[in-house]
A = this chain, B = another copy of it.
Amino acid sequence: MKLFKSVAIVGVGMIGGSLALDIKKHKLAQRVVGFSRNRKTITLAKKRGVIDAGSTDLSVISKADCIILAAPVEVIISLGRRLAGIVRKDALIIDVGSTKQEIVAALEKVVPCFVGSHPLAGSEKRGIDNVKRGLFENSVCVVTPTENTDDQSLAKAIRFWNSVGASTICLSPLEHDTIMSLTSHLPHAVAFALIRSIPEEYFELSAGSLRDTTRIAASDEEVWADIFISNQKQLVAALGEFEKNCNILKNIVRRKDKKRLVSFLAEAKRKRTALV
């Protein structure tokens, strides 16, 4: 079902490029154009059939009736602020940023039909080399309307996410950022701090436990610096909560209190088993 005539992807990386592939696969638009700051990305994206046309000039998006901002948080905000003079007034603008309060506050001021979104898909990888058809199949996408969000745009954005296989949940930007500070930003912060705590010369004596707990520490530093800073308040609170649990555990271990230790670990195990 065609939802749009022409979709413009701003940032043809793993998320933007995978969305482009799914838009073509599900025939959601007649045409998909791409913008990237990097000429090589545009050349590759065209060559691999990810986009029909593309440019390093933002004016390439001017005719699109749907624009998807798929870049790190700070880039979404800075590019978003330049949209007003370029895009069609009736164009639906969606972003895929990992935090929502700053982006939504900035963008709903400059474009009339903006809907904040955050698809919970992807991995520690990024870039055009990691695009994947069907990436959003069976995933969840959080959509973050506010009192300023236009009903029709919201409905269209939800229909779009459903069309690429994602179910949607609506939350306020603050609710989104609070939950994500715990379920996503905290695990990343912990993984970064954890790998920094292990001397490299001990790596050969590690097994799956260290590899799995730190996999996401290989994530891009620029992307995650943006996420952490744009969600500073919630992340600091989440780290505080985590610190409390670390201290409880450390004190139990220090006292060799086996009974309390078993019960601390058993409750963790019960919760982890509930996380499917």
Query: A206 vs B120: C-alpha distance in the bound complex, in angstroms?
Result: 7
* Chain B residues with CB under 8 A of A148: none
* Chain B residues with CB under 8 A of A203: 183, 274-275
Is B232 a contact of A253 with CB atoms below 8 Å?
A: yes
Given contact pairs A183-B202, A205-B183, A222 touches B262 in the complex (Cβ within 8 A): yes
Is B194 a contact of A186 with CB atoms below 8 Å?
A: yes
Within the complex, the shortest CB–CB distance from A109 to chain B, in Å, comes to: 22
Stretch at the interface among A30-38, A75-83, A264-272: A264-272
- Chain A contributes a number of interface residues (CB within 8 A of B) equal to 86
* Chain B residues with CB under 8 A of A169: 204-205
Given contact pairs A202-B183, A275-B210, A264 touches B142 in the complex (Cβ within 8 A): no
Any chain B CB within 8 A of the CB of A180? Answer: yes
Contact with B along A113-127 (1 / 0, CB 8 A): 000000011110000
Query: A19 vs B166: C-alpha distance in the bound complex, in angstroms?
Result: 44
Any chain B CB within 8 A of the CB of A219? Answer: yes
Residues of A bordering B, CB below 8 Å: 120-123, 139-140, 142, 169, 179-180, 182-184, 186-200, 202-222, 224-225, 228-229, 232, 235-236, 238-246, 248-250, 253-254, 256, 258, 261-269, 271-275
Add 19 more A-B contacts to A183-B206, A188-B209 (CB < 8 A).
Answer: A179-B202, A182-B199, A183-B198, A183-B209, A184-B210, A186-B198, A187-B194, A187-B214, A193-B245, A195-B271, A195-B272, A211-B275, A217-B271, A218-B269, A221-B265, A228-B253, A236-B253, A239-B246, A243-B243
- Can you pick out 17 interface pairs between chain A and chain B where the beta carbons lie within 8 Å of each other? A120-B205, A140-B204, A182-B199, A183-B203, A187-B210, A187-B213, A188-B209, A191-B213, A194-B245, A197-B245, A203-B275, A212-B213, A221-B268, A225-B265, A229-B261, A239-B249, A246-B246
